[in-house]
Structure 1
Amino acid sequence: MKLDFSTPNQESRILSVGSYRPSRVVPNSEIVDRIDSSDEWIRERSGIQSRRFASKEETVIAMSKAASEVALKRAGIEMTEVDAVIMATVSYPYQTPSGATELIRELGNPKAAAFDISAACAGFCYGLGMASDLIRAGTAQYVLVVGVERLTDFTDPDDRGTAFIFADGAGAVLVGPSQESGIGPMVWGSDATNREAIALEPSWLEIRDSTEKSWPEISMAGQTVFRWAVYEMAPMALKAIEKAGLTVETLDAFIPHQANLRIIDALAKAMKLPDRVAIAKDVVTAGNTSAASIPLAMDALLTERPDLHGKSALMIGFGAGLVYAGQVALLPPEPKFRT
C-alpha cells in the first residue's frame, strides 16, 4: 500500500522584504556614562555608532506587523493568501501562545499556520530554510518569515559587556513559489559545548523562587563568542556557498548576522571574499538585533544598492546555543509596489 499523492514541481524564492526600525535613535553618547565607557571604546570593539530602542508602543507584535505589511505590499500579495507565518524571536514576552499566532490575527488572517522559532541570532535563517522546504514540498504556497526582537527589555543598561550591543527592530520576507531555484540548501548545526556563552538568565523558575532576581537579563562571554564565530562560521559559510553551486568569485552579496563589525570583517577576510562582493554592515547604525538583524540588513542593503535585486546573497546566522544556520538565496526582485 502507498499514499496516493504527488508534490508540485516547484522551487522557492524570496519575493520581497520589509523592515521596521524604532523611531528612537540612541547614539553611543547616551550609553557610555552608565557603563563607564567611551564612544571610541564602543566603536573599536563593535563598530556600533548608534542603535534603535523601541518605545512602549513599539511592541514585538507592532514591529512585526509593520515589517510584514511592507513585505506583503511590495510583493503584491494579500495576507489572506499566506499559508503560514514563522516568527523568529527570543524576546516575545509570553511563553505561550506563540507570537506568530498574535501576529496573524493582527494581520487579518487568523486561520494561517503560525509558530515561533527560538534559535536566537540564527532564527531567521532557520525560518527561511523551513519556509523554502514547505513551499517545495507543496505544504504551503506563501510563507511569511519574520525576525523580530525587543532585546532592550532583557538588557542590563549597566552591564559593560552588553548594554551597548543589543537593540530592537523587525524584518520580514515573503517566500513563495518559483520556476527556478531561489533558495539554496541550508547548512545548520550547533556547538552545545558552549551553550552558556550567551544566555537569558535566570530561568523563570529561579526567579519565582528567588527574593533577589525579578527579571531575566542577557549575559554573554564576549571573547568566547567572538572566537567561535570567526573560526567556526567561515567554513560553514563556504559550505553553504558550495551547496548552492556558487563560489566566492560568483557570489554577489554577504548578509551575515549583524553581531559585531569586527566579526563581519573577520569572516569576510577568512572567506577571502572579493572586493566586488557587497557586505551588509547595518550593525553600525542598528546594533545587534539578533533574529531581526539579517532581514533588517537585507532591506538596508537593497535600499543602498538597488542593483542587487535578484542577485545572490549568502546569509549566515549564529548565536545563543551556540547554534548556527546559513544559506545562499537570490535577493528579492524589484518591488511590484513602492512603500
Structure 2
Amino acid sequence: MTVRAVVRGVGHYLPERVVPNAEFEKSLDTSDEWIRSRSGIERRHFAAEGETTSSMATAAAEKALSAAGLTGADIDALILATSTADFTFPSAASMVQANLGMKGGFAFDVQAVCAGFVYALSQANALIISGQASRVLVIGSETFSKLMDWTDRSTCVLFGDGAGALVLEAQEGEGAPSDRGILATDLHSDGSYRELLYVDGGVSTGTTGHLRMQGREVFRHAVEKLAATAHAALGKAGLGADDVDWIVPHQANLRIISATAQKMGLSMDKVVVTVQDHGNTSAASIPLALSVGVERGQIAEGDVCVTEAIGGGLAWGAVVLRW
C-alpha cells in the first residue's frame, strides 16, 4: 500500500470590498477595456483597514476545516504560503495556528511568491508520505494591495487580496495513477531572473517597498515554463494530458492561462478560471480557484486536477492530484 495526501476539505475567503476596473480610471491613464484586453481582469477584492494576511487565512482555514468536519485540534501541521506576512516574524502561520486553537503540531510559512501554494502543497505531501503528519492544513493568503505603487498602471491594476485553504489527510492507496490524492509534484527555481519580478523593499532598505515587474518577459517565461512543469508532473504521475479533467492554474493573466492550455493541447473548457473576479492574488490564487471550482460544481471527487504556477524568483512548479 502507498500513503497518499488526499483532500478532505477546501474553503476560501475574499474581502468585502470589490474594486472594479473603472475605479482606476479616476487616478490613472487607463480604462476598463485596456485592463480587460491585457489581463482578462474585471474586478478584484481589497482588504479592509485592519484586515491582514493572517486574519484572511484564518477565515479560509475555518471554512476548509468545516468542509472536512474537523477542527484546528485535529491538524498536525499548518503551512501558509504568502509573500505578505503580517510581520517579519513570527510567521503568519503561527498566528493562524493560535487563531484556530491548534495547540499541538507545528506551523510555518512558505515564501515562493505566486508559486507559493504549489511549493506548500509539495511540502505538505512530503510531510504526509514520510509519516511526519497525518493531517496538514495548507493555506495561501495575500494582501498584495499593500505592495502596490498606485502610480504604476502596468502593475497596480493586476493584483488583489484573498485566501484559500485545503485540508490534506493521509489515506492508503494502491500506488497507482487511479489513487485519490497528490500523485506527483514538480518544482523549479532560477534566481538569475530576479529582476523580472520583485519588490524593491525589505530589511536591507528599511521599507516595505513596491512590486516591480517586467511584464513582457514574465509572460514569455510563464507560458513556456508552466506547460513544461505541468507535463513533467503528469509524467511523474503516469498520466498524460488526455487524463486531465481540470487545469487549475495560478490566476495571473487570462492570456497566460489560455496560451498555457493551448501549449498543453487542452481546451479552455477544462480550465478553472477566476482571474476575472479576483485578479492576481499570488499564492492565494490556486486554493481560491480550487474552492470556487468545487463551489461551482466543476471539480468533483475522482477528477484529475493539475495546478501550476510561476512567480518571482523565478520560482515555478506543478502538482497533479486526484480530487
Which range, TM-score by smaller chain?
Answer: over 0.9
Instruction: State which drifts further: 124-133 or 140-149.
Output: 124-133
- Shift in alpha-carbon separation, 1:117–1:303, aligned structure 2, 3 A: same
> Does the alignment pair 1:27 with 2:20?
yes
- Structure 1 residue 278, shift from structure 2 partner: 2.1
Paired residue type of 1:190 = S
Q: Alignment partner of 1:15: what SS?
A: strand
Aligned residues of 2:226 and 2:317 also touching (Cα < 8 A): no
Q: How many percent of aligned residue pairs carry the same amino acid? A: 39
Q: Deviations over 1:298-319 (max 9, x none)?
A: 1111222256333110001110
- Unpaired stretches in structure 2, ≥5 consecutive residues: 174-178
Alignment-derived partner of residue 124 in structure 2 = 131
Aligned to 1:244: 237
Query: Contact between 1:124 and 1:291, CA under 8 Å: does it hold in 2?
Result: yes
C-alpha distance after superposition, 1:62-102 (max 9, x if no partner) = 11111001101111122111001000000013111111111
State the SS of the aligned residue for 2:89: coil
- The one-letter amino acid paired with 1:148 is S
Q: Which position in structure 2 is the counterpart of 1:293? A: 285
Q: Which residue of 1 aligns with 2:176?
A: none
CA distance in 2, matches of 1:203, 1:108: 31
Deviations 1:109-167 (A, max 9, x none): 13320100110011101111111111111100100001000000111122111111011
What does 1:170-249 correspond to in 2, within 5 Å? Answer: 170-180=163-173, 181=179, 182-207=181-206, 214-249=207-242
Cα distance in 1, alignment partners of residues 107 and 92 from structure 2: 9
Q: How many residues align?
A: 317
Deviation (angstroms), 1:168? 0.1
* 1:69 is aligned to 2:68: no
TM-score (normalizing by structure 1):
0.90
Whether contact under 8 Å (2:293, 2:299) holds in the other structure is: no
1:20, 1:121 → 2: CA distance? 17
The answer to whether structure 1 residue 266 and structure 2 residue 282 are counterparts is: no
Alpha-carbon distance in structure 1 between the residues aligned to 2:224 and 2:317: 15
Task: Please give the secondary structure, in 2, of the residue aligned with 1:10.
Answer: strand
| CA deviation string 1:215-254 (max 9, x = no partner) | 4111111011000001222111111112112111111000
Amino acid at match of 2:152: D
Query: What one-letter code is carried by the residue in structure 2 that aligns with 1:221?
Result: Q
Matching of residue 146 in structure 1 with residue 139 in structure 2 = yes
Describe the shift of the 1:102–1:155 C-alpha distance in structure 2 as closer, same or farther (beyond 3 A).
Answer: same
CA contact (8 A) 1:253 1:312 kept: yes
Q: TM-score, normalised by structure 2?
A: 0.94
1:39 Cα shift?
A: 0.7
Q: 1:246 to 1:285 in 2, by over 3 A?
A: same
The one-letter code sitting in structure 1 at the alignment partner of 2:27 is: R
1:308 equivalent to 2:300? Answer yes
- Work out which of the two has the higher radius of gyration on C-alpha atoms and give 1 or 2: 1
Task: Please say if residues 302 and 309 of structure 1, whose CA atoms lie closer than 8 Å, have aligned partners that are also in contact.
Answer: no
- Shift, 1:173, TM fit: 0.3
Q: Which amino acid aligns with 1:32?
A: E
**Cα distance, 1:9 vs. partner?**
5.1
The 1-side partners of 2:255 and 2:20 are apart by: 19
Q: Distance in 2 between matches of 1:253 and 1:116?
A: 27
Unaligned ranges ≥5, structure 1? 1-7, 208-213, 332-339
1:169-211: per-residue Cα shift (whole Å, max 9, x none)?
000000101222410221011122211211111333323xxxx
| Corresponding residue number in structure 1 for 2:6 | 13
